[in-house]
Protein backbone atom coordinates (compact mmCIF):
# COMPACT_ATOMS: atom_id res chain seq x y z
CA UNK A 1 0.00 0.00 0.00
CA UNK A 2 1.19 3.44 -0.83
CA UNK A 3 1.77 5.50 2.31
CA UNK A 4 1.10 8.85 0.69
CA UNK A 5 -2.60 9.20 1.46
CA UNK A 6 -1.97 8.64 5.17
CA UNK A 7 0.83 11.20 5.17
CA UNK A 8 -1.35 13.81 3.47
CA UNK A 9 -4.14 13.11 5.98
CA UNK A 10 -1.81 13.56 8.94
CA UNK A 11 -0.49 16.80 7.46
CA UNK A 12 -4.04 18.07 6.88
CA UNK A 13 -4.88 17.44 10.55
CA UNK A 14 -1.87 19.45 11.64
CA UNK A 15 -2.70 22.26 9.25
CA UNK A 16 -6.26 22.35 10.58
CA UNK A 17 -5.02 22.61 14.14
CA UNK A 18 -3.20 25.79 13.09
CA UNK A 19 -6.45 27.18 11.67
CA UNK A 20 -5.25 26.95 8.06
CA UNK A 21 -7.66 26.49 5.18
CA UNK A 22 -4.86 25.38 2.89
CA UNK A 23 -1.20 24.54 3.35
CA UNK A 24 1.22 24.97 0.49
CA UNK A 25 4.14 22.54 0.36
CA UNK A 26 6.73 23.75 -2.11
CA UNK A 27 10.02 22.22 -1.00
CA UNK A 28 10.68 19.32 -3.38
CA UNK A 29 11.82 16.78 -0.78
CA UNK A 30 8.63 17.42 1.16
CA UNK A 31 6.53 17.18 -2.00
CA UNK A 32 8.20 13.88 -2.76
CA UNK A 33 7.59 12.56 0.76
CA UNK A 34 3.90 13.46 0.55
CA UNK A 35 3.13 12.41 -3.02
CA UNK A 36 5.89 10.18 -4.42
CA UNK A 37 6.69 12.68 -7.18
CA UNK A 38 10.31 12.51 -8.38
CA UNK A 39 10.42 15.42 -10.85
CA UNK A 40 12.11 18.76 -10.30
CA UNK A 41 9.11 21.10 -10.28
CA UNK A 42 6.04 20.35 -8.22
CA UNK A 43 4.00 21.59 -5.28
CA UNK A 44 1.27 20.18 -3.09
CA UNK A 45 -1.71 21.92 -1.53
CA UNK A 46 -3.42 20.34 1.45
CA UNK A 47 -6.62 21.41 3.15
CA UNK A 48 -9.35 19.69 5.17
CA UNK A 49 -11.06 18.48 2.01
CA UNK A 50 -8.47 19.14 -0.68
CA UNK A 51 -5.31 17.44 -1.91
CA UNK A 52 -3.98 19.06 -5.06
CA UNK A 53 -0.71 18.22 -6.72
CA UNK A 54 0.67 20.81 -9.12
CA UNK A 55 3.34 20.44 -11.72
CA UNK A 56 4.20 22.02 -15.07
CA UNK A 57 3.72 20.58 -18.55
CA UNK A 58 7.05 18.72 -18.50
CA UNK A 59 5.89 16.42 -15.72
CA UNK A 60 2.21 15.92 -16.47
CA UNK A 61 2.80 12.42 -17.85
CA UNK A 62 5.15 11.35 -15.07
CA UNK A 63 2.73 12.66 -12.46
CA UNK A 64 -0.02 10.46 -13.87
CA UNK A 65 2.05 7.45 -12.90
CA UNK A 66 3.74 8.70 -9.76
CA UNK A 67 0.91 10.67 -8.18
CA UNK A 68 -2.25 8.61 -8.77
CA UNK A 69 -3.69 9.28 -5.31
CA UNK A 70 -4.42 13.01 -5.60
CA UNK A 71 -6.00 15.58 -7.87
CA UNK A 72 -3.44 16.80 -10.36
CA UNK A 73 -3.34 20.28 -11.82
CA UNK A 74 -1.10 21.46 -14.61
CA UNK A 75 0.28 24.71 -13.35
CA UNK A 76 2.51 27.37 -14.79
CA UNK A 77 6.23 27.11 -14.44
CA UNK A 78 5.85 29.25 -11.33
CA UNK A 79 4.07 26.77 -9.04
CA UNK A 80 3.51 29.34 -6.34
CA UNK A 81 1.42 31.48 -8.63
CA UNK A 82 -0.71 28.49 -9.58
CA UNK A 83 -1.12 27.53 -5.93
CA UNK A 84 -2.29 31.03 -5.14
CA UNK A 85 -4.90 30.81 -7.89
CA UNK A 86 -6.34 27.74 -6.20
CA UNK A 87 -6.44 29.60 -2.89
CA UNK A 88 -8.20 32.53 -4.60
CA UNK A 89 -10.76 30.14 -6.06
CA UNK A 90 -11.36 28.76 -2.59
CA UNK A 91 -11.91 32.28 -1.33
CA UNK A 92 -14.50 32.89 -4.06
CA UNK A 93 -16.31 29.67 -3.19
CA UNK A 94 -16.63 30.38 0.48
CA UNK A 95 -16.83 34.15 0.23
CA UNK A 96 -14.42 34.64 3.06
CA UNK A 97 -10.75 35.23 3.54
CA UNK A 98 -8.61 32.11 3.13
CA UNK A 99 -5.69 31.35 5.45
CA UNK A 100 -2.91 29.84 3.32
CA UNK A 101 0.04 28.35 5.22
CA UNK A 102 3.49 28.27 3.64
CA UNK A 103 6.98 27.25 4.71
CA UNK A 104 8.82 30.45 5.49
CA UNK A 105 12.20 28.71 5.64
CA UNK A 106 11.83 27.57 2.03
CA UNK A 107 10.47 30.70 0.41
CA UNK A 108 12.51 33.62 -0.79
CA UNK A 109 11.60 37.14 0.26
CA UNK A 110 11.05 37.95 -3.39
CA UNK A 111 8.65 35.02 -3.95
CA UNK A 112 6.77 35.97 -0.80
CA UNK A 113 6.41 39.60 -1.83
CA UNK A 114 5.04 38.55 -5.23
CA UNK A 115 2.51 36.19 -3.63
CA UNK A 116 1.45 38.74 -1.03
CA UNK A 117 0.83 41.33 -3.72
CA UNK A 118 -1.43 39.01 -5.70
CA UNK A 119 -3.13 37.69 -2.56
CA UNK A 120 -4.24 41.14 -1.48
CA UNK A 121 -6.85 41.02 1.28
CA UNK A 122 -8.41 37.84 0.02
CA UNK A 123 -5.74 35.35 1.04
CA UNK A 124 -3.79 35.62 4.28
CA UNK A 125 -0.29 34.12 4.02
CA UNK A 126 0.55 32.35 7.29
CA UNK A 127 4.09 31.13 8.11
CA UNK A 128 3.69 27.42 8.94
CA UNK A 129 7.09 25.85 8.34
CA UNK A 130 8.35 22.57 9.76
CA UNK A 131 5.07 20.62 9.65
CA UNK A 132 6.24 18.16 7.00
CA UNK A 133 9.69 17.89 8.59
CA UNK A 134 8.00 16.83 11.84
CA UNK A 135 6.11 14.08 10.03
CA UNK A 136 9.27 12.98 8.21
CA UNK A 137 11.10 12.57 11.53
CA UNK A 138 8.98 9.52 12.35
CA UNK A 139 9.64 6.81 9.80
CA UNK A 140 7.21 4.11 8.75
CA UNK A 141 8.28 0.50 8.18
CA UNK A 142 8.88 1.02 4.46
CA UNK A 143 11.18 3.95 5.12
CA UNK A 144 13.08 2.10 7.84
CA UNK A 145 13.64 -0.83 5.45
CA UNK A 146 14.93 1.55 2.78
CA UNK A 147 17.38 3.13 5.24
CA UNK A 148 18.44 -0.33 6.43
CA UNK A 149 19.16 -1.31 2.83
CA UNK A 150 21.17 1.88 2.21
CA UNK A 151 23.09 1.22 5.43
CA UNK A 152 23.85 -2.37 4.38
CA UNK A 153 25.47 -1.15 1.16
CA UNK A 154 27.54 1.43 3.04
CA UNK A 155 28.65 -1.34 5.41
CA UNK A 156 29.71 -3.47 2.41
CA UNK A 157 31.64 -0.49 1.15
CA UNK A 158 33.49 -0.14 4.47
CA UNK A 159 34.26 -3.87 4.51
CA UNK A 160 35.67 -3.61 1.00
CA UNK A 161 37.77 -0.59 2.00
CA UNK A 162 39.12 -2.38 5.07
CA UNK A 163 39.80 -5.82 3.65
CA UNK A 164 40.55 -5.19 -0.02
CA UNK A 165 41.41 -1.61 -0.85
CA UNK A 166 43.33 -0.19 2.11
CA UNK A 167 44.18 3.40 3.00
CA UNK A 168 47.94 4.02 3.30
CA UNK A 169 49.72 5.00 0.09
CA UNK A 170 46.63 6.49 -1.57
CA UNK A 171 45.65 10.15 -1.50
CA UNK A 172 42.56 11.13 0.46
CA UNK A 173 40.86 12.30 -2.70
CA UNK A 174 41.66 9.10 -4.62
CA UNK A 175 39.95 7.10 -1.90
CA UNK A 176 36.94 9.41 -1.76
CA UNK A 177 36.42 9.08 -5.53
CA UNK A 178 37.00 5.32 -5.47
CA UNK A 179 34.39 4.96 -2.73
CA UNK A 180 31.89 6.87 -4.85
CA UNK A 181 32.36 4.51 -7.81
CA UNK A 182 32.43 1.39 -5.69
CA UNK A 183 29.17 2.40 -3.96
CA UNK A 184 27.47 2.30 -7.33
CA UNK A 185 29.04 -1.06 -8.19
CA UNK A 186 27.61 -2.37 -4.93
CA UNK A 187 24.11 -1.26 -5.92
CA UNK A 188 23.75 2.19 -4.37
CA UNK A 189 22.33 5.08 -6.39
CA UNK A 190 25.25 7.11 -5.09
CA UNK A 191 26.73 8.49 -1.91
CA UNK A 192 24.62 10.52 0.53
CA UNK A 193 27.24 13.31 0.39
CA UNK A 194 30.83 13.58 -0.87
CA UNK A 195 32.78 11.10 1.30
CA UNK A 196 35.07 12.50 3.97
CA UNK A 197 38.49 10.85 4.05
CA UNK A 198 40.78 12.75 6.39
CA UNK A 199 44.13 11.57 7.73
CA UNK A 200 46.12 12.88 10.69
CA UNK A 201 45.68 16.65 11.25
CA UNK A 202 43.06 16.92 8.47
CA UNK A 203 40.90 14.59 10.58
CA UNK A 204 40.83 17.28 13.28
CA UNK A 205 38.41 19.22 11.02
CA UNK A 206 34.93 17.72 11.48
CA UNK A 207 33.97 18.62 7.88
CA UNK A 208 37.36 17.95 6.32
CA UNK A 209 37.63 17.97 2.53
CA UNK A 210 39.72 15.10 1.08
CA UNK A 211 43.01 16.54 -0.16
CA UNK A 212 44.19 15.91 -3.72
CA UNK A 213 47.87 15.82 -2.81
CA UNK A 214 47.79 14.22 0.65
CA UNK A 215 49.10 10.66 0.48
CA UNK A 216 47.92 8.83 3.60
CA UNK A 217 50.96 7.77 5.61
CA UNK A 218 51.49 4.74 7.85
CA UNK A 219 50.98 5.02 11.61
CA UNK A 220 48.25 7.62 11.66
CA UNK A 221 44.48 7.90 12.19
CA UNK A 222 42.07 8.32 9.28
CA UNK A 223 38.46 9.49 9.63
CA UNK A 224 36.12 8.09 6.95
CA UNK A 225 32.55 9.44 6.90
CA UNK A 226 30.12 8.28 4.22
CA UNK A 227 26.61 7.09 3.48
CA UNK A 228 24.75 5.53 0.58
CA UNK A 229 21.55 6.51 -1.22
CA UNK A 230 19.07 3.85 -2.22
CA UNK A 231 15.57 4.62 -3.54
CA UNK A 232 15.94 8.22 -2.30
CA UNK A 233 16.74 7.18 1.29
CA UNK A 234 20.14 7.82 2.80
CA UNK A 235 22.51 6.39 5.35
CA UNK A 236 25.39 7.92 7.32
CA UNK A 237 28.34 6.28 9.10
CA UNK A 238 31.77 7.28 10.34
CA UNK A 239 34.66 5.08 11.34
CA UNK A 240 38.16 6.11 12.35
CA UNK A 241 40.90 3.72 11.30
CA UNK A 242 44.59 3.36 12.14
CA UNK A 243 47.15 2.78 9.40
CA UNK A 244 49.62 1.16 11.80
CA UNK A 245 50.94 2.03 15.24
CA UNK A 246 49.45 5.08 16.95
CA UNK A 247 50.63 6.74 20.14
CA UNK A 248 49.13 6.37 23.61
CA UNK A 249 47.21 9.68 23.49
CA UNK A 250 45.50 8.72 20.23
CA UNK A 251 44.63 5.29 21.63
CA UNK A 252 43.18 6.83 24.80
CA UNK A 253 41.11 9.29 22.78
CA UNK A 254 39.78 6.47 20.64
CA UNK A 255 38.67 4.57 23.74
CA UNK A 256 37.08 7.72 25.11
CA UNK A 257 35.05 8.41 21.96
CA UNK A 258 33.99 4.80 21.73
CA UNK A 259 32.76 4.64 25.32
CA UNK A 260 30.99 8.03 25.00
CA UNK A 261 29.36 6.79 21.79
CA UNK A 262 28.16 3.57 23.41
CA UNK A 263 26.80 5.38 26.46
CA UNK A 264 24.85 7.74 24.18
CA UNK A 265 23.54 4.79 22.13
CA UNK A 266 22.11 3.22 25.27
CA UNK A 267 20.34 6.52 26.04
CA UNK A 268 18.75 6.72 22.57
CA UNK A 269 15.28 5.73 23.79
CA UNK A 270 11.78 6.94 22.98
CA UNK A 271 10.84 9.83 25.26
CA UNK A 272 14.47 10.82 25.91
CA UNK A 273 15.11 14.56 25.76
CA UNK A 274 17.36 15.28 22.75
CA UNK A 275 19.60 17.53 24.85
CA UNK A 276 19.92 14.89 27.54
CA UNK A 277 21.10 12.29 25.02
CA UNK A 278 23.66 14.77 23.69
CA UNK A 279 24.78 15.44 27.26
CA UNK A 280 25.53 11.77 27.95
CA UNK A 281 28.33 11.80 25.38
CA UNK A 282 29.37 15.39 26.06
CA UNK A 283 29.74 14.82 29.81
CA UNK A 284 31.81 11.67 29.27
CA UNK A 285 34.20 13.55 26.98
CA UNK A 286 34.31 16.60 29.28
CA UNK A 287 35.07 14.38 32.28
CA UNK A 288 38.26 13.32 30.48
CA UNK A 289 39.21 17.01 30.13
CA UNK A 290 38.40 17.11 26.41
CA UNK A 291 35.07 18.94 26.43
CA UNK A 292 36.45 21.71 24.20
CA UNK A 293 37.59 19.12 21.63
CA UNK A 294 34.01 18.00 20.85
CA UNK A 295 32.54 21.04 19.16
CA UNK A 296 29.54 19.73 17.20
CA UNK A 297 26.17 18.20 18.05
CA UNK A 298 25.85 14.52 18.90
CA UNK A 299 23.63 13.55 15.99
CA UNK A 300 20.85 14.23 13.51
CA UNK A 301 17.93 12.54 11.82
CA UNK A 302 18.53 10.77 8.49
CA UNK A 303 15.98 9.88 5.81
CA UNK A 304 15.26 11.50 2.45
CA UNK A 305 17.93 13.99 3.49
CA UNK A 306 21.14 13.27 5.29
CA UNK A 307 20.48 15.98 7.85
CA UNK A 308 16.90 16.22 9.01
CA UNK A 309 14.84 16.27 12.21
CA UNK A 310 15.33 15.48 15.02
CA UNK A 311 18.63 17.05 16.04
CA UNK A 312 20.59 15.94 19.10
CA UNK A 313 22.61 18.91 20.30
CA UNK A 314 22.98 21.27 23.26
CA UNK A 315 20.73 23.80 21.49
CA UNK A 316 18.09 21.31 20.27
CA UNK A 317 14.62 20.90 21.76
CA UNK A 318 12.11 18.07 21.94
CA UNK A 319 12.35 14.39 22.64
CA UNK A 320 12.95 11.20 20.70
CA UNK A 321 10.04 9.10 19.44
CA UNK A 322 9.79 5.53 18.27
CA UNK A 323 10.34 5.65 14.51
CA UNK A 324 13.09 8.26 14.59
CA UNK A 325 16.27 7.31 12.74
CA UNK A 326 19.22 9.29 14.07
CA UNK A 327 23.00 9.26 14.04
CA UNK A 328 25.04 9.08 17.23
CA UNK A 329 28.43 10.58 16.38
CA UNK A 330 30.59 12.03 19.12
CA UNK A 331 34.15 13.02 18.27
CA UNK A 332 37.37 14.30 19.74
CA UNK A 333 39.40 16.66 17.56
CA UNK A 334 42.95 17.45 18.62
CA UNK A 335 44.05 20.44 16.53
CA UNK A 336 47.05 19.87 14.27
CA UNK A 337 47.30 16.22 15.31
CA UNK A 338 44.28 13.98 14.63
CA UNK A 339 40.52 13.59 14.86
CA UNK A 340 38.38 10.69 15.98
CA UNK A 341 34.68 10.28 15.27
CA UNK A 342 32.51 7.18 15.53
CA UNK A 343 29.05 7.39 14.00
CA UNK A 344 26.29 4.79 13.93
CA UNK A 345 22.80 5.04 12.50
CA UNK A 346 20.14 4.12 15.03
CA UNK A 347 16.45 3.31 14.72
CA UNK A 348 14.62 4.35 17.89
CA UNK A 349 12.05 1.72 18.86
CA UNK A 350 9.84 0.96 21.85
CA UNK A 351 12.08 -2.06 22.49
CA UNK A 352 15.19 0.14 22.59
CA UNK A 353 17.75 1.36 20.07
CA UNK A 354 18.25 -0.73 16.93
CA UNK A 355 21.79 0.02 15.73
CA UNK A 356 21.60 -0.32 11.96
CA UNK A 357 25.33 0.01 11.28
CA UNK A 358 27.16 -3.32 11.42
CA UNK A 359 30.83 -2.26 11.13
CA UNK A 360 32.78 -3.09 14.33
CA UNK A 361 33.92 -0.32 16.61
CA UNK A 362 37.19 -1.58 17.95
CA UNK A 363 40.11 0.28 16.39
CA UNK A 364 40.80 -1.45 13.07
CA UNK A 365 44.23 -1.26 11.48
CA UNK A 366 43.86 -0.88 7.73
Nearest distance from residue 197's CB to Zn ion, in Å? 12
Nearest distance from residue 146's CB to Zn ion, in Å? 18
Interaction of residue 225 with Zn ion, rule CB under 5 A: yes
Quickly list H helices, 95-162: 109-119, 131-137, 141-160
Q: How many CB atoms lie within 10 A of CB 332?
A: 25
Q: By C-beta, is 72 or 311 nearer to Zn ion?
A: 311
Cα–Cα distance measured from residue 280 to residue 164, given in angstroms and rounded to the nearest whole number? 36
Site for Zn ion in 238-277 (CB under 5 A): 238
Given a contact cutoff of 8 angstroms between Cβ atoms, the answer to whether 76 and 56 are in contact is yes
Tell which residue, 363, 362, 349, has the closest CA to residue 141. 349
Q: By C-beta, is 155 or 225 nearer to Zn ion?
A: 225
Cα–Cα distance measured from residue 190 to residue 157, given in angstroms and rounded to the nearest whole number? 12
Tell the burial category of 109 from Cβ atoms under 10 Å away from its Cβ (0-12, 13-18, 19+). Answer: exposed
Q: By C-beta, is 243 or 327 nearer to Zn ion?
A: 327
Cα–Cα distance measured from residue 75 to residue 54, given in angstroms and rounded to the nearest whole number? 6
Using CA of residue 328, residue 360, residue 241, residue 283, what is the dihedral sign?
positive
Q: By C-beta, is 54 or 150 nearer to Zn ion?
A: 150
Tell which residue, 308, 345, 331, has the closest CA to residue 154. 345
Nearest distance from residue 43's CB to Zn ion, in Å? 29
Interaction of residue 236 with Zn ion, rule CB under 5 A: yes
Residue 56's SS3 state is coil
Interaction of residue 308 with Zn ion, rule CB under 5 A: no
Q: By C-beta, is 44 or 294 nearer to Zn ion?
A: 294
- Position among 327, 340, 344, 345 found at the interface with Zn ion (CB under 5 A): 327
Interaction of residue 35 with Zn ion, rule CB under 5 A: no
Phi and psi dihedrals of 168, rounded to 5? -60, 140
Candidates 127-135, 202-210, 218-226, 309-317 — which segment interacts with Zn ion by CB under 5 A?
218-226
Candidates 173-181, 222-230, 274-282, 345-353 — which segment interacts with Zn ion by CB under 5 A?
222-230
Nearest distance from residue 105's CB to Zn ion, in Å? 21
Interaction of residue 278 with Zn ion, rule CB under 5 A: no
The distance between the two most distant Cα atoms of the chain, rounded to a whole number of Å, is: 76
Candidates 112-120, 221-229, 273-281, 352-360 — which segment interacts with Zn ion by CB under 5 A?
221-229
What residues make contact with Zn ion under the rule CB under 5 A? 225, 236, 238, 327, 343
Amino acid sequence: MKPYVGRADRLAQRAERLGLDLLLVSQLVNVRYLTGFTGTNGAFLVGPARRVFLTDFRYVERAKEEVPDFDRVRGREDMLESALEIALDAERDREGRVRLGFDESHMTVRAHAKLAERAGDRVELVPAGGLVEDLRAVKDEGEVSAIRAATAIADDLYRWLISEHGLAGHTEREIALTLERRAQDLGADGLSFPAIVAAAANGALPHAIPRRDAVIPRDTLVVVDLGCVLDSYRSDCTRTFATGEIDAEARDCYKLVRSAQEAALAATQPGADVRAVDRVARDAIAAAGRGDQFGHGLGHGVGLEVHEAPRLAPSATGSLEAGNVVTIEPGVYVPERFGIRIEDLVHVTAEGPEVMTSIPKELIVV
